[in-house]
Amino acid sequence: MTFGSAKDKEVVKAFWTKLAPKADDVGADALSRMLVVYPQTKTYFAHWKDLSPGSAPVKKHGKTIMGGVADAVGKIDDLTAGLLDLSELHAFTLRVDPANFKILSHNILVVLAIVFPNEFTPEVHVALDKFLGALSRALAEKYR
């Protein structure tokens, strides 16, 4: 999966250096919002004791998700190859409907707008939206 232009990659990497120190909090907040705003997504986490915003399992998994995003930033030149193992995990073990990748991406963007209101310009928004879209398509690669 090729993603974007050289400029898009530059924008994503530059924004990531600002985001990285707050990545865990961003992940936890995005996941919290997904579970509250799109309650159908709770089905994947029925084994957690507490799905409320900011709970321990939500924080832990938010950190895991953003670890995956960080990995993807590092493999931005070939997301498909770089995310093969994660794609297999989501397709065969976790069995997540790929429609949910877009839902989580939207909530990540909402959190970025809140945490970085001045830096999350339309230009940064479009580059990140394209990146998260490409990441989602790479994650869905092994489904069929």
**Residues 64, 58: contact at Cβ < 8 Å?**
no
Using the minimum distance from each CB to other proteins, give the nearer residue, 56 or 114.
Answer: 114
Main-chain phi, psi angles of 77, to 5 degrees: -80, -15
Alpha carbon 83 to its chain's center: 13
Contact with other proteins (CB under 8 A) among 13, 97, 110, 137: 110
Based on the shown chain and the rule CB under 8 A, indicate whether residue 89 belongs to the binding site for other proteins: no
Region from 1-9, 31-39, 60-68, 132-140 binding other proteins, contact rule CB under 8 A: 31-39
Q: Say if residues 54 and 28 touch (Cβ distance below 8 Å).
A: yes
Residues between 40 and 59 with contacts to other proteins, criterion CB under 8 A: 53
Cβ neighbours of 114 (radius 10 Å): 12
Q: Does 129 help bind other proteins (rule: CB under 8 A)?
A: yes
Number of shown-chain residues binding other proteins (CB under 8 A): 20
- Cβ of 136: how many Cβ atoms within 10 Å? 20
- Amino acid at residue number 22: K
Q: Give Cα 27 to chain centroid, integer Å.
A: 8
Is 114 among the residues that bind other proteins (CB under 8 A)? yes
Region near other proteins per CB under 8 A, out of 19-27, 43-51, 76-84, 109-117: 109-117
What does the binding site for other proteins look like in residue numbers (CB under 8 A)? 29, 32-33, 35-37, 53, 106, 109-111, 113-114, 117, 120, 122-123, 125-126, 129
